[in-house]
Copies of this chain bind each other. A is one copy, B any other.
Amino acid sequence: MNRDRINGDPLDGFRFPIDEWRLVETSPAFDDLGVTETLFAVGNGYLGMRGTPEEGRDSHLVGTFVNGFHETWEIKHAENAFGFARVGQTMVNVPSSTLIKLYVDDEPLLVSVADLVSYERSLDFRDGVLHRDLIWRTPAGKRVRVRSRRMVSFTDRHLSVMTFEVTLLEGSAPVVISSQIVNKQDFDEIAGVGAAGDPRRNRNFDHRVLIGEMNWCSPRRMVLGYRTANSGMTLAVGADHVMDTVNQFEELDDTSADQGRKIYRVQAEEGVPITITKAVAYHTSRGIPVRELSDRVRRTLDRVRDQGVEQCFVAQREWMDAFWTRSDVEIGSSVRDQQAIRWCLFQLIQASARADGMGIPAKGLTGDGYEGHYFWDTEVYLIPFLTLTDPTLARNALRYRYTHLDLARARAREMAVRGALFPWRTINGQEASAYYAAGTAQYHIDADIAYAIGHYGAMTRDVEFMVHEGAEMLVETARMWADLGFWRFNGEKVFEIHGVTGPDEYTTVVNNNTYTNVMARWNLRLAAMWLRRMAAEYPEDLGLLVRRVGLDMGEVDEWEQCAEGMEIPFDAELGIHPQDDDFLNKELWDLDATPGDRFPLLLNYHPLVIYRFQVLKQADVVLAEFLRPGEFDPATKRADFEYYDPITTGDSSLSAVMQAIMAAEVGHQDMALGYFRSGLYTDLADTHMNAGDGAHIASTAGIWRCLVSGFAGLRDDGELSFDPRLPTEWTHLEFPLSYRGSRVRVHLSAEAIRFTLEVGDPITVDVRGVEVKIGDTPVEVPLDGQGPLLPLLVGSRPFVHGEPMV
């Protein structure tokens, strides 16, 4: 059920005017500081800065994050048991460099109390630059224009560039500008942020995390260096300041362990601008001495010094132009929705562009929710977007898992299974989930990773990756499933998987979770198919692999047998797939009788209460049917959707987008659009009331999926096929797809779907069963002028179990 239905314009149009390429705020507010800090955050996947104003106040959480830079701590279980996660990992809020305080006539600019003549803050999706432009009437009555820019570079992942410009519009006055780097542990605002009963929020440390090891400054440059207390990671942050003004000024510099300051005292004259540029570099490592990182900081800053900061803005724009060429989705509909779509797409690239060898945190680098951990949604929601828009980034993200394969092997041994078991949540590769029922029990993480590998391999034909890292991960995950499950004689011999939790965490530790079994089957098949293919086509690579993992080809036979015998729960009477063996035996939760303030259920009922009812956080059977489209017939998909949707709370932000896609597929067009818009505004309208903790990155990826797979009807299970369901309210939908080295632009209208090859060799796609070759000239396939197809009739076409291609 769609509790978050968005009616009309979900944003205050006065405060946030519609702009298809920017998020714009025309008046400040202070009751949603956490949310706007998230919405206006800038980052590049390595470095992220929340949208706190330059003054540092008012703020909810002044946050700067470096992907993977974390502190460890001993997880103390109130009641411990064998194999419980031991090493907590929490992304560290690193020293902030966004602080630039302004004083005119010794009065500080503080937006919440300032007399503002004008105000505009905007985040431009075209270049990823955050702007603020305001005119402040000081207590002395002088108008002062303050303009600033802030960006985190996509081309140089260690770099952030800020500019700060002050002009007295009347009179003269002493102006002081204090630009700082501050170790957050001095911020009062931090004290209030803590777990406090919500497992999705970050935690406070009980110790000082960042230990200062270096600080120095020169007139142009300051550098601070730190080491984390437990994890021993190191960080250096440095800043260069350049002052440009014809006013007279003096400057002061100082640094201490927790602060570096650059202070300009300016005798400002009317109309004479004061412009400061601040280039900041962050370098981090797992333990390299701070001194060496400091050298790297210098090199980054020297490069900026040599080329000038404006060149950084130019390069940023060029990089972003290329991104939008590869990734933009244009809809012929509400400009507000278009704006929100681009905000979502911008989040995706901010979260992933320069993650390089690291994973992609659930909140990207926009907040500290989920402690900066990497989860399954990277593989199921995010990587497919990267695979189909910028495969290099997908490869990087998959390689991150490969770097932790040995830890996953060790975890499998601890969990008494063969192969490799990836952690449910982690930064450093070790299991960090302190609640196994909704953590370690989600063995499906292995199959999710295998899914992303298989999808990547099929969409890119990156054989070099597949026969090496890809195949090795497929082998070890397949081994895990073959050992975790067992053969049961139940009339016939079936392969069952017990004691697992699916993505729907409102039911845990069950037998034969349909999602898990479907995805495990695919994992087993993928592993077997790739190994058979390697035997035929890449025997030398297979030889290497066999030696590396001690493989006996008899295992491949076993995987095929396990896949073939896999139990997939089905209730013949209802014609649906039960979520697990027991699901249909449970009592139904009466959602209509549940007061609105008791959602999300997980914060208002003991897990034992939730678990014993038929009630869902997200519909994982429905998700499985999206991910493995050829394995289910249309009638069952529809029946499943219609069974689960009414009992799905959508308490997970991963829910709405998948419900949208499958609503579209099974013929509920209104629901599809409704769910789509719920997902679209998850953060922008803060419908889950926790956007302050960071953006819901998987949901933003789901928005892209809604567009290309929900409305354009793309299925990408080996090949590309389209069965469009354009909403009647929309004139068109257009987006590019990267596929096997080519890029094709798809334009969908009610009347036709048009394909234009933009890059690479001709490709072939399928449109409603018709093969379409796309070469040098655009191809248009008429859709019979009938608009979106009528809902597929239940059972109207025979179910073909297509052996999926890889």
Cβ proximity bits A59-86 to B, threshold 8 Å, 1 near / 0 not: 0000000000000000111111111110
Q: Given that A587-B488, A608-B436, A612-B499 are contacting pairs, would A81 and B602 also be in contact in the complex, using a CB cutoff of 8 Å?
A: yes
Considering the complex, which residues of chain A in the window 66-113 have a beta carbon less than 8 Å from any beta carbon of chain B?
75-85, 88
Do A606 and B415 have beta carbons less than 8 Å apart?
yes
Do B608 and A499 have beta carbons less than 8 Å apart?
yes
Considering the complex, which residues of chain A in the window 663-715 have a beta carbon less than 8 Å from any beta carbon of chain B?
none
Residue among B85, B414, B585, B602 making CB contact with A496, cutoff 8 Å: B585
Do A509 and B82 have beta carbons less than 8 Å apart?
no
Q: Given that A78-B75, A83-B606, A195-B80 are contacting pairs, would A582 and B486 also be in contact in the complex, using a CB cutoff of 8 Å?
A: no
- CB-nearest residue of chain B to A490: B585
Do B78 and A414 have beta carbons less than 8 Å apart?
no
Do A81 and B606 have beta carbons less than 8 Å apart?
yes
Q: Does A603 contact B (CB under 8 A)?
A: yes
Count chain B CB atoms within 10 A of each CB in A82, A83, A433, A488 and give the residue with the most: A82
Do B199 and A415 have beta carbons less than 8 Å apart?
no
Contacts of A603 in B (CB 8 A): 82
Do A605 and B499 have beta carbons less than 8 Å apart?
no
Cβ proximity bits A115-144 to B, threshold 8 Å, 1 near / 0 not: 000000000000000000000000000000
Q: Does A52 contact B (CB under 8 A)?
A: no
Contacts of A199 in B (CB 8 A): 79-81
Q: Does A402 contact B (CB under 8 A)?
A: no
Contacts of A88 in B (CB 8 A): 78
Contacts of A82 in B (CB 8 A): 197, 602-607
A744 to B: closest C-beta gap in Å? 45
A668 to B: closest C-beta gap in Å? 29
Q: Does A166 contact B (CB under 8 A)?
A: no
Residue among B434, B439, B498 making CB contact with A586, cutoff 8 Å: B498
Contacts of A85 in B (CB 8 A): 78
Q: Does A730 contact B (CB under 8 A)?
A: no
Do B498 and A605 have beta carbons less than 8 Å apart?
no
Q: Does A738 contact B (CB under 8 A)?
A: no
Count chain B CB atoms within 10 A of each CB in A76, A437, A508, A603 and give the residue with the most: A437
Residue among B78, B416, B433, B499 making CB contact with A435, cutoff 8 Å: B78
Considering the complex, which residues of chain A in the window 621-661 have a beta carbon less than 8 Å from any beta carbon of chain B?
none
Q: Does A511 contact B (CB under 8 A)?
A: yes
Q: Does A581 contact B (CB under 8 A)?
A: yes
Do A511 and B582 have beta carbons less than 8 Å apart?
yes
Do A585 and B78 have beta carbons less than 8 Å apart?
no
- CB-nearest residue of chain B to A198: B80
How far is B582's CA from A604's CA once the two chains are assembled, in angstroms?
29
Q: Does A309 contact B (CB under 8 A)?
A: no
Do B606 and A435 have beta carbons less than 8 Å apart?
no
Q: Does A440 contact B (CB under 8 A)?
A: yes
Do B587 and A486 have beta carbons less than 8 Å apart?
yes
Considering the complex, which residues of chain A in the window 28-83 have a beta carbon less than 8 Å from any beta carbon of chain B?
75-83
Contacts of A581 in B (CB 8 A): 582, 585
Cβ proximity bits A390-423 to B, threshold 8 Å, 1 near / 0 not: 0000000000000000000000001110000000
Do A416 and B605 have beta carbons less than 8 Å apart?
yes
Do A611 and B75 have beta carbons less than 8 Å apart?
no
Do A78 and B81 have beta carbons less than 8 Å apart?
no
Contacts of A605 in B (CB 8 A): 82-83, 416
Chain A interface main SS type: loop
Q: Does A18 contact B (CB under 8 A)?
A: no
How far is B197's CA from A76's CA once the two chains are assembled, in angstroms?
10
Q: Does A574 contact B (CB under 8 A)?
A: no
Q: Does A542 contact B (CB under 8 A)?
A: no
Q: Does A441 contact B (CB under 8 A)?
A: yes
- CB-nearest residue of chain B to A507: B499
Cβ proximity bits A499-515 to B, threshold 8 Å, 1 near / 0 not: 10000000011010000
Residue among B435, B509, B585 making CB contact with A611, cutoff 8 Å: B509
Do B416 and A79 have beta carbons less than 8 Å apart?
no
Q: Does A11 contact B (CB under 8 A)?
A: no
Q: Does A609 contact B (CB under 8 A)?
A: yes
A510 to B: closest C-beta gap in Å? 9
Contacts of A612 in B (CB 8 A): 498-499, 511
A417 to B: closest C-beta gap in Å? 8
Contacts of A77 in B (CB 8 A): 78, 434
Count chain B CB atoms within 10 A of each CB in A84, A88, A197, A585 and give the residue with the most: A585
Considering the complex, which residues of chain A in the window 511-541 have a beta carbon less than 8 Å from any beta carbon of chain B?
511
- CB-nearest residue of chain B to A85: B78
How far is B81's CA from A75's CA once the two chains are assembled, in angstroms?
16
Do B509 and A509 have beta carbons less than 8 Å apart?
yes
Contacts of A488 in B (CB 8 A): 585, 587
Q: Given that A498-B612, A582-B511, A585-B496 are contacting pairs, would A440 and B606 also be in contact in the complex, using a CB cutoff of 8 Å?
A: yes
Do A607 and B197 have beta carbons less than 8 Å apart?
no
Residue among B79, B433, B499, B508 making CB contact with A433, cutoff 8 Å: B79
Cβ proximity bits A587-611 to B, threshold 8 Å, 1 near / 0 not: 1000000000000001111111101
Do A437 and B440 have beta carbons less than 8 Å apart?
no
Count chain B CB atoms within 10 A of each CB in A83, A199, A435, A608 and give the residue with the most: A608
- CB-nearest residue of chain B to A512: B585
Q: Given that A81-B199, A435-B78 are contacting pairs, would A416 and B602 also be in contact in the complex, using a CB cutoff of 8 Å?
A: no
Q: Given that A80-B197, A498-B586 are contacting pairs, would A414 and B606 also be in contact in the complex, using a CB cutoff of 8 Å?
A: yes
How far is B609's CA from A608's CA once the two chains are assembled, in angstroms?
20
A306 to B: closest C-beta gap in Å? 49
How far is B83's CA from A604's CA once the two chains are assembled, in angstroms?
8
Count chain B CB atoms within 10 A of each CB in A79, A433, A587 and give the residue with the most: A79
A230 to B: closest C-beta gap in Å? 16
How far is B88's CA from A490's CA once the two chains are assembled, in angstroms?
45
Cβ proximity bits A607-621 to B, threshold 8 Å, 1 near / 0 not: 111011000000000
Q: Given that A76-B76, A582-B511 are contacting pairs, would A499 and B611 also be in contact in the complex, using a CB cutoff of 8 Å?
A: yes
Contacts of A441 in B (CB 8 A): 608
Do A415 and B582 have beta carbons less than 8 Å apart?
no
Do B585 and A511 have beta carbons less than 8 Å apart?
yes
Contacts of A611 in B (CB 8 A): 499, 509
A114 to B: closest C-beta gap in Å? 40
A336 to B: closest C-beta gap in Å? 36
Considering the complex, which residues of chain A in the window 444-472 have a beta carbon less than 8 Å from any beta carbon of chain B?
none
Q: Given that A76-B76, A509-B509, A612-B499 are contacting pairs, would A81 and B582 also be in contact in the complex, using a CB cutoff of 8 Å?
A: no
Do B606 and A436 have beta carbons less than 8 Å apart?
yes
Contacts of A414 in B (CB 8 A): 606
- CB-nearest residue of chain B to A435: B79
Do A79 and B608 have beta carbons less than 8 Å apart?
no
- CB-nearest residue of chain B to A195: B80
How far is B436's CA from A758's CA once the two chains are assembled, in angstroms?
58
- CB-nearest residue of chain B to A415: B606
How far is B573's CA from A111's CA once the two chains are assembled, in angstroms?
76
Q: Given that A498-B586, A585-B496 are contacting pairs, would A608 and B415 also be in contact in the complex, using a CB cutoff of 8 Å?
A: yes
Considering the complex, which residues of chain A in the window 189-223 have a beta carbon less than 8 Å from any beta carbon of chain B?
195, 197-199
The 5 residue pairs across chains A and B that have the minimum distance between CB atoms: A78-B434, A83-B606, A499-B612, A79-B435, A79-B434
Could you jot down 23 A-B contacts, CB within 8 Å?
A: A75-B78, A78-B435, A79-B433, A79-B434, A79-B439, A80-B197, A81-B606, A81-B607, A82-B602, A82-B606, A83-B605, A83-B606, A415-B609, A436-B608, A440-B608, A488-B587, A490-B585, A498-B587, A499-B609, A509-B611, A511-B585, A581-B585, A582-B582
